[in-house]
């Protein structure tokens, strides 16, 4: 298995803009890792209220002093020219130039990631330290960019399960020369897909989408409306290789089964993980899936500084030239891979639990007795779980109700299933008598 870091090292520095050769090159490389269908949407194609943008290419981009000294050059770093910058060439006064120069808010020596996909303007990005040194009256700007018809590409890895009900995984690939956001989510996603493809007994069908942020999700969803009713949940992946603890961001429907399942499963998978409500950690493609008319409960998993007020939140280097593979390591990526697979394992197990017994189980007679003298918590938990098995609650419902982990509830449920006292069902199967 190729290390995730190898893939990141190979692809991170490409100028992977929304619709661009750099993006296409990265996606084509990923398609060699896993069986992938590449959907193409041409420039101008309507996607609900959106339209596919033009392909953008930056051939040249630099800033010179009037005596010919090169101050910044896109050849040194793809971030030096604003993504989707208009072309511009000319001699400008310092006053004219400054509003077109972008710097990072908190990292004076970093080049910021700036994009102007829909608000047309020209611009260069550079370290604040360089900008502060610009004291001449005039400068020469050369930005040679091209806007032309192209195709937006979405890579889809299909992992068939027994059911046509589908769980969506997504990661974006459109952040030029940035590693943690977004190559780390892509690398983990590809590895998750490989692991799922190797499993032969999946209930759900899984789809991993690799796409340009926002417009890629809208393009895919608007062209696969027939699939939307089958999408039962989702998880967006990004910012996974740094040292910060995991953050599980819930969906727009916090009472949904994926929310209950992942929310109760994460603590055992990663005890330091934080949880937050929808749009309280970070905004990405999960917005399109959670949106009106789609309403797929899609959560997200990332690694961020827990205090949102931290000046460098979500992590030092975010959206800047400091976001290099040096921030990441294979061990953290591996933990993220294990976390995602652990959540999906819980998801596969999350079924309605149907009692095959009436009354309270004669536990000692069925050899499931937990002594209340030696293990009072275990004894209480066994009874609390048992009394909730009425075919109308899933494992996750029981875990959330009792404020215990998914795994703790699952352990008891699987013991009862093993003893022939309970059954698992994908649909509710209420067993309580109906009274008028």
Distance from CA of residue 367 to its chain's centroid?
Answer: 44
- By CB under 5 A, tell whether 323 contacts Zn ion: no
Task: Rank residues 214 and 407 by Cβ distance to Zn ion and give the closer one.
Answer: 214
Shortest spacing between CB 46 and Zn ion, in angstroms = 26
Return the closest-CA partner of residue 16 out of 138, 178, 135: 178
Shortest spacing between CB 255 and Zn ion, in angstroms = 29
Shortest spacing between CB 175 and Zn ion, in angstroms = 5
Task: Rank residues 152 and 261 by Cβ distance to Zn ion and give the closer one.
Answer: 152
- Are 299 and 236 contacting, i.e. CB atoms less than 8 angstroms apart? yes
Residue span binding Zn ion (CB under 5 A) among the ranges 36-44, 47-55, 174-182, 373-381 = 174-182
User: CA-CA distance, 367 to 33, in Å (whole number)?
Assistant: 49
Task: Rank residues 183 and 412 by Cβ distance to Zn ion and give the closer one.
Answer: 183
User: CA-CA distance, 318 to 331, in Å (whole number)?
Assistant: 20
- By CB under 5 A, tell whether 181 contacts Zn ion: yes
240-299 positions binding Zn ion, by CB under 5 A: none
Question: What is the size of the binding site for Zn ion (CB under 5 A)?
Answer: 1
Task: Rank residues 107 and 354 by Cβ distance to Zn ion and give the closer one.
Answer: 107
Shortest spacing between CB 75 and Zn ion, in angstroms = 24
Residue span binding Zn ion (CB under 5 A) among the ranges 54-62, 179-187, 218-226, 422-430 = 179-187
Shortest spacing between CB 218 and Zn ion, in angstroms = 17
Q: Which helix (H) or strand (E) holds 172?
A: strand 166-172
User: Residue 260: what are its φ and ψ, rounded to 5°?
Assistant: -65, -40
- The runs of H, that is alpha helices, within 31-179 are 94-97, 128-132
Shortest spacing between CB 181 and Zn ion, in angstroms = 4
Please, what's the b/e burial string for 125-163 (b: 16 or more CB within 10 A of its CB; e: otherwise)? bbbbebbeeeeeeebbbbbebebeebebbbbbbebebee
Shortest spacing between CB 182 and Zn ion, in angstroms = 6
Closest residue to Zn ion, judged by C-beta, is 181
Cβ atoms within 10 Å, residue 381: 18
Residue span binding Zn ion (CB under 5 A) among the ranges 24-32, 98-106, 177-185, 246-254 = 177-185
User: CA-CA distance, 241 to 314, in Å (whole number)?
Assistant: 13
Task: Rank residues 181 and 335 by Cβ distance to Zn ion and give the closer one.
Answer: 181
Task: Rank residues 181 and 259 by Cβ distance to Zn ion and give the closer one.
Answer: 181
Task: Rank residues 205 and 214 by Cβ distance to Zn ion and give the closer one.
Answer: 214
Task: Rank residues 182 and 397 by Cβ distance to Zn ion and give the closer one.
Answer: 182
Residue span binding Zn ion (CB under 5 A) among the ranges 17-25, 176-184, 354-362, 367-375 = 176-184
Cβ atoms within 10 Å, residue 425: 13
3-state DSSP assignment of residue 188: helix
Q: Beta-strand (E) ranges in 271-428?
A: 274-276, 298-303, 352-355, 422-425
Shortest spacing between CB 213 and Zn ion, in angstroms = 7
Tell me the C-alpha to C-alpha distance, in Å, between residue 155 and each of 41, 42, 115, 204. 12, 15, 22, 20
- Are 145 and 58 contacting, i.e. CB atoms less than 8 angstroms apart? yes
Residue span binding Zn ion (CB under 5 A) among the ranges 21-29, 181-189, 220-228, 371-379 = 181-189
Shortest spacing between CB 26 and Zn ion, in angstroms = 15
The one-character DSSP state at 273 is: -
Task: Rank residues 24 and 323 by Cβ distance to Zn ion and give the closer one.
Answer: 323
Binding stretches for Zn ion (CB under 5 A): 181
């Amino acid at each position: 298995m190729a290390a995730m870091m190898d893939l990141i090292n190979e692809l991170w520095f490409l100028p992977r803009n929304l619709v661009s050769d750099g993006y296409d090159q990265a996606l084509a490389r990923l398609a060699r890792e896993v069986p992938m269908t590449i959907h193409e949407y041409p420039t101008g194609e309507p996607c609900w209220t959106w339209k596919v943008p033009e392909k953008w290419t930056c051939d040249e981009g630099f800033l010179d002093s009037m005596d010919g000294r090169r101050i910044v050059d896109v050849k040194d770093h793809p971030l030096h020219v604003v993504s989707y910058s208009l072309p511009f060439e000319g001699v400008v006064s310092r006053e004219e130039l400054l509003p077109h120069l972008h710097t990072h808010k908190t990292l004076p020596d970093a080049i910021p990631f700036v994009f102007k996909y829909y608000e047309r303007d020209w611009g260069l990005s550079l370290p604040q330290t360089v900008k502060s040194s610009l004291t001449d009256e005039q400068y020469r700007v050369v930005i040679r960019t091209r806007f032309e018809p192209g195709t937006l590409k979405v890579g889809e890895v299909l992992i068939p399960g027994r059911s046509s009900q589908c769980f969506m995984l997504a990661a974006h690939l459109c952040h030029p020369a940035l590693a943690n956001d977004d190559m780390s989510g892509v690398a983990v996603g590809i590895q998750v897909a490989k692991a799922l493809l190797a499993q032969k007994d999946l209930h759900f069908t899984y789809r991993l989408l690799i796409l340009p942020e926002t417009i890629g999700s809208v393009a895919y969803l608007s062209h696969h409306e027939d699939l939307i009713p089958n999408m039962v949940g989702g998880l967006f992946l990004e910012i996974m290789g740094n040292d910060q603890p995991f953050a599980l961001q819930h969906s727009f429907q916090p009472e949904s089964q994926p929310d209950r399942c992942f929310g109760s499963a994460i603590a055992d998978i990663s005890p330091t993980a934080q949880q937050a409500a929808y749009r309280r950690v970070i905004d990405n493609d999960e917005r399109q899936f959670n949106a009106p008319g789609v309403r797929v409960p899609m959560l997200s998993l990332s690694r961020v500084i827990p205090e949102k007020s931290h000046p460098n939140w979500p992590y030092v280097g975010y959206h800047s030239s400091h976001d290099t593979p040096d921030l990441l390591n294979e061990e953290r990526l591996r933990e993220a891979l294990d976390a995602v697979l652990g959540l999906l394992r819980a998801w596969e197990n999350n079924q309605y639990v149907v009692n095959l017994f009436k009354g309270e189980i004669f536990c000692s007679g069925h050899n499931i007795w937990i002594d209340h003298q030696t293990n009072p918590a275990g004894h209480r938990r066994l009874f609390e779980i048992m009394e909730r098995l009425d075919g109308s609650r899933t494992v996750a419902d029981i875990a959330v109700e009792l404020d215990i982990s998914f795994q703790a509830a699952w352990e008891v449920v699987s013991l009862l299933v093993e003893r022939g006292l309970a059954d698992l069902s994908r649909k509710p199967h209420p067993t309580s008598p109906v009274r008028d």
